[in-house]
Structure 1
Amino acid sequence: MSGAEENAAMDAAGDATQQSRYPLRARKEVAEPAAKAPTAKRKAKDPAAKEDAAEAAAKEKDAIAKREKAAATKAAKAAKAAAAAQAAKESSNAEPTTAASAVPVPAAPAPSVQPRKSAISSTAIFTAAPLERLRPPTPQIGNVEPPEENPARLATIHAFPPPSSIPFHQNPLAASPRRSSLFPLSHVLAAPVPALHRDRGLVLALGLGLFVGLPPIAIAALALSHVALAALGLGLGLVALAALASYSQPDPALPVPEDAEPRLRPGNTGGGTKQGDYEDSEATMIKVACQFFTIELATVRGYPEDGVVQNGTEDDVAAKAWAYARLNAKGGRNVRLNSKLATLIKSSKWNMRNRLAGRARSHIQLYGINATKSLNENRNLVTSLLVNYKFIFADPEEEDGLLEHPAIIAIIKDTWFDKGGDAAVIPLSFNPLPIPLIALTLTAIHYAFDTITDGPRDKGVRPFAQDVYMQTYGYYRAQMEEKGQKYPAVMVEAQQALYAAVTKGTKLAVVVEESPWGSTADSSLDAAFRRRQNRLRAT
C-alpha cells in the first residue's frame, strides 16, 4: 500500500470514528458541501448574483473613502487648533501698541480633549506690561487655590495702595514716571500664588506676586520689610509667651489671691463696719480710698448724691477710690470691694464736710462777726455781705480782690493744705485751685452765715445738711463756672492769687492755666468781674 493510500485509509478510519462519536455533526458536515457547491455554481452562472457582488464591492469602497476623509478632516482641525494656539502665544508675548491689541480675539474651536479650566487666564497675566519688564510666571508648587477660594489673601493684596498713592519719598517707583506707569495694580493681582497654608499663602503672595517685574531696589526694600515684620512678630510672640507664663504661674509669695475677700482681725467688734475691724493691709487701703473719695468730692463733684446719673453715682466714686487704693496703697492687695467697704468709703464725706463747716464757722469772725455784737448787728452784717456776693472780695465795700478775702484763704488752707492734708497727697488735683473746691468753700461760708442769723437754738447749731446745701453748692458753682467762661483772664488771675495765698510758705507752686468753665450769669457779680477785667486791660 502506498503512502497516499495509507493516509487515506487512516483519514477514513478517523472520520468513521468521529462520525460514530458525533453522528449529528457528521451528517451536517456531509450535507453542507452538497448544498454549497451548487450554490456557488449557481452564483457563478446567475447574472443577478454578479450585480449583488458588484454593489457590495462599491459600498465597501465608499466606506473606505469616507473613513479616509474623516481622518483627513480631523487632522486638519488639529493642525488648525495648534496654529491658533501658537498665534495666541505669539500675540501674548508681543508688546501692545494700541488699545485694540489688548482686546482678546476669539480662538478657534477647542480640540475634543478640553483642558482643565482655571480661574486666572494664562494670557491675561502679562498683557498689561512690556515683555522686557516682566519675568516668566512662577511655577505653581503644590495645591494652588483659585483667588475666589482664598478671599483673605486677595483682601490683603487689595489693601496695598497703588504706586500713585504712596508718598514720593517712600515710593521706589516714583523717581521715574514712565517706570511707575508700567506696573499697574491689575498685573500684581493677576499673579497666581501657591496656597500651601493660609498664613504662608499670604507671605508667598507678597514674595511671588509683588516681585514679578519689580526692579532690584524695590525687591530689596520689600525683602527688608519682610525681615523686619518677621523679627517684630517673633519679638511679640516671645513677649506674649512670657506674659502667658507669668499669668499662668501666679507668684506664691502673694498672701492674698486675686480678688480675695477682705480679711478681718480676729476678735473684731464691728464685723467690718469700722476701719479697725480689718487687717493692717486692708485698713491702709481703706484709709487711702477714703482720702481719695474726699479729694474727688472737693475738686470734682461736691455732692455726688445730686441724682445726675450721667455724671456717675456715689457708688461709682467709691469704686474709683477703691481701685486707686489697690494700686497706690502701701502693701495694697487685690481685695474685692464689698458693700461694707463701700459704706465705709462713702461715710468719709461727712468727715470732710463737717471739718469744712467747722473751719468756716471759726473763720467768719474775719468778716467782723463776733459774739460781742448783738444778734441784729451780726444779722445786718451777714445780709450786707451776701448782697452782690461781697463776701468773696478782699474788700467787700469796694468789691476789690476777687476771692482774696482772708476768711476764704484761711478756710481752704486749714481744710486741705495743712500738714499731711489732701493737697499733699495728690497735688495736681489742687493746682490750680479748681472751681468746684472754691464753690464748696463759699457754700461752707454761707452755712456759717446761716448759723449766725439763726441765733440761739434749742437743738443746737444747725447741721451742714446735705439736702439743703447741695442746692446752694450748685448755685455758687454755676456762678463761678459762668464767670470763668465769660471772663477767663479774670478767673485765672483769681485762681492763681488764691493758690499763692493758701500755699504761702510751702513748696507748692502756681501753675498758670485757663479755666474752661461756664453756665448761667448774674448781673451784679458780672459787673464786678467786668470791672476787674477792665483793670487788667488797663495795666
Structure 2
Amino acid sequence: MVLPKIKKNSDGSRHRMKVSDFDDVSKEILGTAACIFRCLIVSQAPFPENIAVKMQLAKAAWHEACQIKGINVKLTPSGVKMLLTRTSQVHGELKMKMCSLTASFFGFQLSNSNDVIRQNRDLAESLKDSSVFAFKDWKSKKGIYKTELLQLGINIMWFANRHDEGVIHHKYFNPMPVEVIALVLTTIECCINEWLQGLKEDIKFTSATYGTVYHGHFCSLQRFNERTAPYKLLDKIRVNLHDVARCI
C-alpha cells in the first residue's frame, strides 16, 4: 500500500487542505474518487442522515478509484475531508444550474412591476400546490414525473458532454436512481420557493433546509411505484430519463 505524501507549510505546520497539496499519485486518485463520490452521494444518499453514511461512501469512492488506477493508496483523514466537501459542492452546483432552468421553464420574470411581482407569486403558489410542478402538464395535472424540466436538469447536471459524470460513471445512473429524481424535484421546489414573494430571493439548499423536503419527494415516488407496480411506470420513467440523457 502506498502512503500519500501531503505538502506542508514552510515551517512544517499544516494548513487548509487543497487538491494541490497532495502528491501527484494521490492527487490523481483523489480526482477520480471525488467524481465517484459525487455520483454515490446523489444516487444513494443525496442528504446523508449522518457522517457515518458519508464516510462509508467516501471509502467506497476511494476504493473504486484505486481499482481504476491500479494502485492501492491509503485514504488519509485529509483525503476524507476533501471528499466530504463534495456533498455541499454538488448541492450548490445543482441548485445554481436549476435556478435559471426553472425560471425560464415556468416563466418567472425579474421585475419591480407590481403586476409582474403578483404574477410571480401566484405562479409559485400554483406550482407548489400538491407539487404540480412534477407533472408534464402541470395545469391539467397530467403526466406525473414526466415534466421536461426533470429531464433538462438531469441532462445539464450529469450529461452535458461526453466527459461528464453521468457518461463516465454511467453505471450509477442506469436506470436513473429514484434518489436522483427526488433530488432534482427537491431542487426545483427550492428554486420555485425563491419566487414565493414575487421577487427572487436566495434560499440555501442544504440538508437542514431541504432534507425533509427531499424525503417527502422520495416517499411520494415510492408510493407512486407501489400503486402502479403492475404497469412498472416508475421503472419506465427511470429508464427513459437515462436513455434520453445518454442520447444528447
TM-score, normalised with respect to structure 2: 0.87
Query: What pairs with 1:435-454 in structure 2 (closer than 5 Å)?
Result: 435-454=178-197
Query: Does structure 1 conserve the Cα–Cα contact (< 8 Å) formed by 2:135 and 2:146?
Result: yes
- Match in the other structure for 1:334: 72
Measured after TM superposition, the shift of residue 265 of structure 1 is 4.7
SS of the residue corresponding to residue 354 of structure 1 reads: helix
Q: Select 1:361's aligned residue among 99, 103, 108.
A: 99
Q: Select 2:65's aligned residue among 325, 337, 361.
A: 325
SS of the residue corresponding to residue 363 of structure 1 reads: helix
- Match in the other structure for 1:371: 110
- Spell out, residue by residue over 1:471-490, the C-alpha distance to the aligned partner (whole angstroms, 9 max, x if none): 11111001101211221322
Query: Does structure 1 conserve the Cα–Cα contact (< 8 Å) formed by 2:8 and 2:14?
Result: no
SS of the residue corresponding to residue 222 of structure 2 reads: helix
Structure-1 separation of matches of 2:236 and 2:72? 43
Distance 1:399 1:497, change over 3 A: farther
SS of the residue corresponding to residue 452 of structure 1 reads: coil
SS of the residue corresponding to residue 475 of structure 1 reads: helix
- Match in the other structure for 2:246: 503
SS of the residue corresponding to residue 263 of structure 1 reads: coil
Q: Select 2:39's aligned residue among 279, 295, 309.
A: 295
- Match in the other structure for 1:393: 135
Distance 1:270 1:408, change over 3 A: farther
Query: Does structure 1 conserve the Cα–Cα contact (< 8 Å) formed by 2:159 and 2:245?
Result: yes
Q: Select 2:176's aligned residue among 401, 419, 433.
A: 433
Structure-1 separation of matches of 2:237 and 2:65? 33
Where structure 2 has 5 or more consecutive residues not aligned to the other structure, the ranges are: none
Distance 1:277 1:454, change over 3 A: farther
Query: Does structure 1 conserve the Cα–Cα contact (< 8 Å) formed by 2:120 and 2:198?
Result: no
- Give the count of matched residue pairs: 239
Measured after TM superposition, the shift of residue 271 of structure 1 is 4.4
SS of the residue corresponding to residue 453 of structure 1 reads: coil
Query: What pairs with 1:401-412 in structure 2 (closer than 5 Å)?
Result: 401-412=143-154
- Spell out, residue by residue over 1:427-473, the C-alpha distance to the aligned partner (whole angstroms, 9 max, x if none): 1211111110000000100110111125558xx62221221101111
Distance 1:265 1:477, change over 3 A: same
Q: Does 1:469 align with 2:244?
A: no
Query: Does structure 2 conserve the Cα–Cα contact (< 8 Å) formed by 1:375 and 1:453?
Result: no
TM-score, normalised with respect to structure 1: 0.42
SS of the residue corresponding to residue 196 of structure 2 reads: helix
Measured after TM superposition, the shift of residue 291 of structure 1 is 1.0
Structure-1 separation of matches of 2:20 and 2:91? 22
Structure-2 separation of matches of 1:294 and 1:468? 20
Letter in 2 for 1:414: I
Query: Does structure 2 conserve the Cα–Cα contact (< 8 Å) formed by 1:272 and 1:278?
Result: no
- Spell out, residue by residue over 1:388-430, the C-alpha distance to the aligned partner (whole angstroms, 9 max, x if none): 2211112111222333322222111110111121111221211
Measured after TM superposition, the shift of residue 267 of structure 1 is 6.5
Letter in 1 for 2:241: L
- Match in the other structure for 2:5: 263
Letter in 2 for 1:334: N
Structure-1 separation of matches of 2:240 and 2:57? 30
Query: What pairs with 1:180-219 in structure 2 (closer than 5 Å)?
Result: none
Structure-2 separation of matches of 1:389 and 1:481? 15
Query: Does structure 1 conserve the Cα–Cα contact (< 8 Å) formed by 2:158 and 2:165?
Result: yes
Letter in 1 for 2:133: F
Where structure 1 has 5 or more consecutive residues not aligned to the other structure, the ranges are: 1-257, 506-539
Q: Does 1:275 align with 2:19?
A: yes
Measured after TM superposition, the shift of residue 266 of structure 1 is 7.7
Query: Does structure 2 conserve the Cα–Cα contact (< 8 Å) formed by 1:484 and 1:490?
Result: yes
Q: Percent identity?
A: 19
- Spell out, residue by residue over 1:193-244, the C-alpha distance to the aligned partner (whole angstroms, 9 max, x if none): xxxxxxxxxxxxxxxxxxxxxxxxxxxxxxxxxxxxxxxxxxxxxxxxxxxx
Structure-2 separation of matches of 1:264 and 1:380? 54
- Match in the other structure for 1:217: none
Query: Does structure 2 conserve the Cα–Cα contact (< 8 Å) formed by 1:271 and 1:277?
Result: no
Query: Does structure 1 conserve the Cα–Cα contact (< 8 Å) formed by 2:88 and 2:206?
Result: no
Query: What pairs with 1:8-23 in structure 2 (closer than 5 Å)?
Result: none
Distance 1:455 1:273, change over 3 A: farther
Letter in 2 for 1:401: G
Structure-2 separation of matches of 1:322 and 1:386? 39
Structure-2 separation of matches of 1:270 and 1:376? 53
